Structure 1
Amino acid sequence: MSATVSVNGYEIKPDESGQWCVFDASGENIAGPFSSQEAAVEVASVLQDQPAPPARRRNKK
């Protein structure tokens, strides 16, 4: 098997079953499984993180 590949800030590596998945920085599987590393790389190359929602302001009284 190949080593872990980083694409667009995501890690491409095999899961416990040996199939390729896309993992985020915290190690959570966000896409997959895929039958090949190339398919997982292709998906990771188009993923974009969504910005966090703005913090709610509290009304001071």
Structure 2
Amino acid sequence: MSAIKSVNDYLIKNVSPNEWWMVALSGEKVAGPFPSEKATVEVAEVFEDLAGPSTRSRNSKS
């Protein structure tokens, strides 16, 4: 098993023989599974997380 790589502030993790994931530093799976480390790295290099943190709807009543 290869060492975990960090690309664009995401970790590239191998979770099974043919399953690679792009993982946030918090441990949350962001994208995957991918068939290879190379494919996962290529996605991480161009990935932009535009969603931001989830927030409660302004119109929701508690």
Structure 1 and Structure 2 fold alike (TM over 0.5): yes
Which residue of the partner structure matches residue 40 of structure 2?
40
SS in structure 1 at match of 2:12: strand
Distance 1:3 1:25 in 2: 15
Gaps of 5+ in 2: 54-62
> Is 1:29–2:29 an aligned residue pair?
yes
Q: Percent identity?
A: 51
Question: In 2, distance between residues paired with 1:32 and 1:2?
Answer: 18
Identify the residue that residue 59 of structure 1 maps to in structure 2.
none
TM-score, scaled relative to structure 2? 0.72
1:4 aligns with 2:4: yes
Give the match's secondary structure for 1:48: coil
Structure 1 residue ranges (4+ consecutive) displaced by more than 4 angstroms after TM superposition:
none
How far apart, in 2, do the equivalents of 1:23 and 1:32 lie?
A: 9
1:48, distance to aligned residue in structure 2 (A): 1.9
Match of 1:58 in 2: none
Based on CA coordinates, which of the two structures has the bigger radius of gyration? 1
